Structure 1
Amino acid sequence: MEKFFLGEDLDRAERAARLLHRLTGKTVYINEDFGSDSEDDPWGFFVSTCPGKDVYREIGGEAK
């Protein structure tokens, strides 16, 4: 699964998800990553074509 971490900016995550949907024609998921206390694992959003365990929003649908 390819996933693209976009940090805490939800607007940026939504724009990236819409662009990825337009390019692939697939459903794109904005997933929330709650991270941990470590600086190496921050909280934020990532987009992917596969749902994660914490889906925040779904963009588009499968191309017909």
Structure 2
Amino acid sequence: MLRLSKVLRDSVFSTVLYASLLSVVSTMLITAGCSSRRHKSHPSSSITITTASLPDATEGVAYSYTL
């Protein structure tokens, strides 16, 4: 009788473990499937950087600046 109760206890544990694993894997697959939608990409615009603290530069001439 003890052996039967051990087998039943182990089978219940295995069933709960596999059901939990199946639930987690299913959730991950559904989430990955739903999140792979294509998003509209916006055209890249050119970036303009304006610096007020650096001296004026001449194109092609190197200069140094100490902070």
Higher strand share: 1
**Bigger Rg, which one:** 2
Give the TM interval when normalised to the shorter protein.
under 0.3
Higher helix share: 2
Select the structure with the greater relative contact order (CA < 8 A; seq sep ≥ 6).
1
TM-score, reference length from structure 2: 0.26
TM-score, reference length from structure 1: 0.27
